[in-house]
Amino acid sequence: MQSAAVVGTGLIGTSIALALRGRGVTTYLIDANPEAARIAADLGAGIAGTPRGPVDLAVIAVPPRHVAAALKEHQLLELAHDFTDAASIKELPQREAAQAGCDLTRFIGGHPMGGREQSGPLAARDDLFHGRPWVLTPSAHTRAQTAERAWHLAELCGARPVVMAHAEHDRAVALTSHAPHLVSSLLAGRLLHGDPAQLGLAGQGLQDITRLAAGSAELWTDILGSNAVAVADVLAGFTQDLHQVVDALQGLGAAEEPEQQRVHTDRLATALVRGVRGRARIPARNPAPTLSVAYTAAPRGV
């Protein structure tokens, strides 16, 4: 891959562009807001504006509900030979791209699993995806060249390519990203009811658990709404667990008999033990893979 274009110069798009420029790929920056593209260019992420001819690969780095329209527009403009995206939802953009009449042979869904609570090009980092999974979701229409270029893109950015089905991806991120963000936001929202004296006691633990809540409300409304069913399924189970803990705590506050206190204490302890066991299942973050000088293409039809 010698050339690329990034459509959407927010945190993710600019981070991708910075990584590509660091690997010597000529990269063009396109954004509906020219100022955002200019800022990304000033950071060294590439050239603000469209190329004179098709680049090898274009990355559509816009919110989920805008992917299909942006893909259609830039395929008609012949921006690139192949296209991928970076949205955190995969089923909805794929379905809307099909409905819009996009050329699905030259498109493969993609999702780099890295981010920050800040947004915009100034928050971008060239190592944002180092050692992180980069999900690719080929359809039955995706040609081998498109899949290979997207695989190469992930490796150039220091990520680990992972192939998943669209629905499988959306269920996975509902559990590991989308529901946690919403839980963090809801907990942070409770702080609006605290007085300054109470909030003055906040420590690092509260900072950690509410960090995600600082993300863009506009972007996350789009993300959560685009994956609504999968997120609701995760939160339904979470709500059941929460009700059990609330019942146990209320029971401890009202129980007078030792046996009643023991039952409620056991229920509370069970919830905490499940949390310890669940957190232990999170894989350790892997270091960035080393990209060989002679690139070995992904298997055909990856």
Work out the mean pLDDT of the chain and round it to a whole number. 92
Per-residue pLDDT reduced to its tens digit, 87-112? 999 999 999 999 999 999 999 999 99
Percent of the chain having pLDDT more than 70?
94
pLDDT of residue 286: 61
Mean pLDDT of 41-60: 97
Task: Look at the pTM and tell me if it is higher than 0.85.
Answer: yes
Q: Where are the beta strands (DSSP E) in 32-106?
A: 47-48, 55-60, 80-85
Tell me, rounded to whole angstroms, the distance of Cα 13 from its chain centroid. Answer: 12
Tokens, residue 64: 């989920």
Neighbours of 293 (CB within 10 A): 4
- Structural tokens at position 113: 């699993």
- With a pLDDT cut of 90, the percent of the chain lying above it is 87
Position with higher pLDDT, 155 vs 297: 155
* Mean pLDDT calculated for residue range 226-251: 96
Q: Burial letters for 116-137: b for 16+ Cβ neighbours within 10 Å, e otherwise?
A: eeebebebbebebbbebbbbbb
Alpha-carbon distance of 235 to 215, in angstroms, equals 19
